Structure 1
Amino acid sequence: MNKIHGMIKGTLIVIGTLSIVLGVVGIFLPLLPTTPFLLLGSACYIRSSEKLYKWLIEHKKFGIYIRNYQEKRGIPLKIKIFSIGSLWLSIGYSALFIVSSIMIKLLLFTIAVGVTIHILSLKTLK
């Protein structure tokens, strides 16, 4: 059982680290969202490494994104607009030009609607 537990922890650390890297890349690439990747990274770290989770939460640049979300303070309006715009551009492009299956297109649009509702339901930071 310990070996399986160790493998799960290791996998979560790898996924968390990849998510953090994608979040950092998202700062510079407009179509890649930062906050969701940082949140995924923190979720993986909290289940696998207290040290990495603490580092991320206390990081002077990334920690604020996660703390604001976790403490339900909200997210800035600019981030909401950018997130929703990026979401719809990327999912719209994929659904219209990449995916051929009607079911997958419907699934993509359903996900976009759900994520949009979630983002809009968060408080807006001033």
Structure 2
Amino acid sequence: MIPRPLSQLLWRTLAVACVALGMIGVVLPGLPTVPFLLVAAWAGGKGWPQLEAWLLAHPRYGASIRQWRERGAVPRRAKWAASGMMTLSAVVLLLSPLALWLRVAVPMAMACVAVWLWMRPEA
């Protein structure tokens, strides 16, 4: 069993890393923001309740985090953006010189994620 101070430090480290990745995602096209903030809120709930509360109350991203927690909801705009990025990634991957199995397996995995994503309720 991990001692409480170490456990809290690990949860906080994960939360801060995910907030940092989310902030990078705000300015870097193709890197999602909200999924990282979802993980940050989850990790914050385990080791940093103040950060979790701040994320849930955030004026721009708090509603998305709360909707995910309450209903597993994903906004339609986010579904379209994710689907578009996965399609673009699949096309680039298919045109790359990688092994055939990789050029087929990764787009298939992305297709499964897209189906799962579109089956989620909308915000």
TM-score (norm 2): 0.78
Counterpart residue number, 1:6: 5
Counterpart residue number, 1:47: 46
CA contact (8 A) 1:42 1:56 kept: yes
* Pair 1:114-2:106 in alignment: no
**Percent identical across equivalent pairs?**
23
Structure 2: give runs of 5+ residues left out of the alignment.
none
Counterpart residue number, 1:124: 122
Cα distance, 1:49–1:26 mapped onto 2, change above 3 Å: same
Counterpart residue number, 2:36: 37
Cα distance, 1:72–1:10 mapped onto 2, change above 3 Å: same
Counterpart residue number, 1:56: 55
State the Cα deviation string for residues 30-53 of structure 1 (Å, max 9, x = none). 210112111111121111111111
C-alpha distance in structure 2 between counterparts of 1:38 and 1:32, whole Å: 12
Alpha-carbon shift at residue 105 of structure 1 (Å): 5.8
Counterpart residue number, 2:16: 17
**Counterpart amino acid of 2:55?**
L
Name the SS for the 1:85 alignment partner: helix
